[in-house]
Structure 1
Amino acid sequence: MTANRPLHLAAEIGGPPHYDAGHYLTLARLAERGALDFVTLGDSFARPGLDALAVLSRIAPATDRVGLVPTVTTTHTEPFHVSSAVATLDWVSRGRAGWSAEVSTTEAEARLFGRRSAAPPGALWQEAGETADVAARLWDSWEDDAEIRDTATGRFIDRDRLHYVDFEGSTFSVRGPAIVPRPPQGRPVTVIDGTGAPAREPAARHADVVHIRATTPEHAAAVRDDVRRRAAAHGRDPAALRFLAALTVDLGDAETAPEPGLESGPRPAGRDSYFRGGPVDLADLLTRWHRSGAVDGFHLTPITPARDLERIVNGTVALLQHRSLFRTFYPGGTLREHLGLARPASRYALARTAGEGA
């Protein structure tokens, strides 16, 4: 790892459903002790369990630095509500929120809502991209100084600094403005798994962090390069995206040699990359992949969170820190600061300022 390419690490804290916040809080605090960039909490309409975004909103006030990234399914969900809920998480966490966009593809899940039938993945990811687009516009719709809070005059808001977004998507329209003031980060961090072809375009246009499920550094680099090329075509700076290799981790037997590479070993359903071995071997693998330049870091999904996350933090991360390959403290307070991402200005404030200077 070079000085200008810090290693980023994140971990999933989900697994079999738990119905008490204490379980997830313990795992989030463990990840925070290891200075991980963020934790994710998976969610879908296909399984029972608590709502991931609500759980992390409960955990937010009881943690201090670790980023909090719930999965939010955009299919069958109102984009305005998505924007408001994620903005609320950013407020209650004091700027540590993100969200991982996902889609719902099955007819069984569609019947839970009764609004429409299942749609092809391409259409669903187009809608997910539009949801990410309108969410960012809604977060921008309050300029940073829109709140006046002048008790003497009774003015709470400067209406000249609130803006209609007037967004027309393929399946929805949103006028705005938001009902939640602009989040502390300006825009909470958007995460998209860009491995599959239908998700590549929304990842390139809207993601801050792109997860890649790959079995080799070369495969990861190919996906990264494709997303970067698409991002540049949309006028984005490809260097502003962070790419994390998604890896399912089984550290159940620290004495068991790891599978060679990532090409063998049992693979959980829906996972393309799987590691079984010990914490030292995992640290070596992460180091090799990162030094290859293929990715900026890793999103680790423990097979057994309560067991494996402890071994990741106290074993793998501690070793990476000892080798000066991973930080020992958080340099800032927000998730964007952890990831080295700038806080974006409101597009409407920029347009207004440009108009005033014309």
Structure 2
Amino acid sequence: MSARYGGLLHLAAALDQPGAPGTESFVELARLAERGGLDFVTLDDSAARPGADALGVLCRVAPATRRIGLVPTVTTADPEPLRAQGAVATLDRLSRGRAGWRLDLGAPGRSFEGEAVPDRWFEGEAAPGRWFEGEAVPGRSLGGEAVPGRSFEGEAVQGRSFGGAAGTGGLSGGGRPRWGDFTGGAFPGQDPPAAPRPPQGRPVHVVDVTDDHARTVAARYADVALVRATTPVQAAGERDRLLEQAGSFGRRPGSARILVSLLVDLGDGERAAQPGHGGGGPRPTGRGPLYRGGPVDLAELIAAWHAAGVADGFHLVPVEPRRDLERLVNGTAALLQHRGLFRTFYPGSTLREHLGLPRPVTPYATSGATLTTTDRI
């Protein structure tokens, strides 16, 4: 796990619009972000938003976009994690390899149908319920190591599908795959139907580092870690802690990207920065670090932090989605492109290619392959 300093920046943005009805506004914002060349967009689940959940919304955004990555927040505290993993794999197929999964870790010690789950469950150490390493249910993998023909990460079984006609991978009316019932195993509930391996091999795992528990999960499993910081020194400290912990898990250099997550309010234009805002840097708030200023000052901040080697890029959360994302794309990103710090086109078609991450290899991709914990990340 390592930040690749000196290379091109990675930029991502949130599409969150509490209270927005339907999916049209999300499609519009995703297309705007795609025109700016952003790596991916994220969408959280919100009780204030009517209609489909984040995954359902992005399943509808997928056919309306071509290159940008799509990363919904999906809880890992679901009593049927197979459902969540399979649904994200379906998004990966719908988008032809552009899906990610922002893991909503919930609170340590959460329960599954009244049974407490150990804090180390996400670290792959709480037998028999571990699933990040593909050992949750025999023959039903979540990490890409399932028995061939039984997993969405392995070979397909003919005639099985995700809610549509056989072999189509279509979605059911609710925007989620349909499943067949099963009982037993670590997670009683439902079993995803077999389907082809997702285009990326495994959708990108994104973890928001908010506490020690989340940092441990990110260090061991994340493809993208989102850290919060108000100064370059704080960002460097978060980076160093992540890299040290990732190394203790045997992570290889370059196996993940570290992005600084900032709230951005670009409504003040290029007026003189107030203390703690704009050129003065982000300031702490209850929702996380907030930058307030203009798109040019934001470009200067991003360029300076990247040059200091504190992160691979930034995940930006607009305070006013439509206004701020437009200024981010047409102002900040355009200026960074002009300086040669950010891409002007997508060189690949998948989210892993945008991020420079390798496609995971399963034991069934090459005969005699040996897969280590590091390779599963």
Normalising by the residue count of structure 2, what TM-score does the alignment of the two structures yield? 0.77
Aligned to 1:317: 333
Aligned to 2:34: 32
Alignment of 1:1-358 (within 5 A): 5-43=7-45, 47-49=48-50, 50-105=52-107, 115-116=113-114, 122=119, 130-134=130-134, 136-138=142-144, 142=148, 146-147=155-156, 172=187, 179-258=194-273, 259=277, 261-262=280-281, 264=283, 267=285, 269-271=286-288, 273-350=289-366, 352-354=367-369
Unaligned runs of 5+ in 1: 151-155, 157-166
Residues 10-48 of structure 1, C-alpha deviation per residue, up to 9 Å, x if partnerless? 00001323121110000000000001000000125x655
Distance 1:263 1:29, change over 3 A: closer
Counterpart Cα distance in 2 of 1:200 and 1:3: 21
Contact 1:142–1:181 (Cα < 8 Å) also in 2? no
Q: Which has the larger helix fraction?
A: 1
Contact 2:38–2:68 (Cα < 8 Å) also in 1? yes
**Residue identity (%):** 50
Shift of 1:353: 2.1
Residues 223-279 of structure 1, C-alpha deviation per residue, up to 9 Å, x if partnerless? 2122222222222213221000001000112033331543537x2x331x1100001
Distance 1:188 1:225, change over 3 A: same
Contact 1:216–1:261 (Cα < 8 Å) also in 2? no
Aligned to 2:176: none
Shift of 1:322: 1.2
Residues 281-331 of structure 1, C-alpha deviation per residue, up to 9 Å, x if partnerless? 000000001011010000000001111000000011111111111111000
Give the AA of the match of 2:114: R
Give the AA of the match of 1:274: L
Counterpart Cα distance in 2 of 1:145 and 1:277: 48
Residues 148-188 of structure 1, C-alpha deviation per residue, up to 9 Å, x if partnerless? 979xxxxx9xxxxxxxxxx987xx47997862321000011
Aligned alpha-carbon RMSD (Å): 3.4
SS at match of 1:95: coil
Residues 85-120 of structure 1, C-alpha deviation per residue, up to 9 Å, x if partnerless? 01000000000000100133499x98xxx9338989
Contact 1:139–1:181 (Cα < 8 Å) also in 2? no
Residues 191-228 of structure 1, C-alpha deviation per residue, up to 9 Å, x if partnerless? 00124111111111111000001111121122212222
SS at match of 2:368: helix
SS at match of 2:66: coil
Aligned to 1:164: none
Give the AA of the match of 1:90: D
Contact 1:215–1:261 (Cα < 8 Å) also in 2? no
Name the stretch that deviates more: 18-27 or 127-136.
127-136
Counterpart Cα distance in 2 of 1:230 and 1:319: 35
Distance 1:347 1:201, change over 3 A: farther
Distance 1:230 1:34, change over 3 A: same
SS at match of 2:287: coil
SS at match of 1:223: helix
Counterpart Cα distance in 1 of 2:283 and 2:216: 30
Counterpart Cα distance in 2 of 1:201 and 1:263: 26
Aligned to 2:170: none
Distance 1:303 1:141, change over 3 A: farther
SS at match of 2:143: helix
Counterpart Cα distance in 2 of 1:353 and 1:106: 38
Count of aligned pairs: 328
Name the stretch that deviates more: 3-12 or 207-216.
3-12
Counterpart Cα distance in 1 of 2:229 and 2:25: 30
Counterpart Cα distance in 1 of 2:144 and 2:255: 21
Distance 1:116 1:237, change over 3 A: same
Contact 1:193–1:212 (Cα < 8 Å) also in 2? yes
Give the AA of the match of 2:199: P
Distance 1:229 1:353, change over 3 A: same
Name the stretch that deviates more: 188-197 or 91-100.
188-197
Name the stretch that deviates more: 179-188 or 293-302.
179-188
SS at match of 1:70: strand
Unaligned runs of 5+ in 2: 135-140, 160-166, 168-183, 371-377
